[in-house]
Amino acid sequence: MLKFVKNHMESITGIEIYPMISLLVFFAFFVVLFWWVFTSKKAYIKTVSQIPLDN
C-alpha cells in the first residue's frame, strides 16, 4: 500500500513543497502558542483554569 502511494506521489510535479509548508505552519503555530503562554497574565490563567470547577 505504501509503495503505491509513494509511486503515485512521485508522479505529481511540484509536490515536494508541501512537506516544507506543513513544517513551517506547524513550527509557526507552536512558536505563537509558546509566545502566548509566556506573555499571558497569571491572573487570567488562574481564572481560566478555575472555569471547569465552577458550578
Query: Domain ranges in the chain?
Result: 27-55
- Convert the pLDDT of each residue in 25-43 to its tens digit: 999 999 999 999 899 999 9
Count CB neighbours of 45 within 10 A: 11
Share of the chain above pLDDT 70, in %: 96
Q: Cα separation of 30 and 40, whole Å?
A: 15
* pTM, entire model: 0.60
pLDDT at residue 27, as a whole number: 97
Cα-based torsion angle of the residue sequence 33, 38, 41, 45 in order, rounded to the nearest 10 degrees: 60
Closest CA to 50 of 17, 42, 8: 42
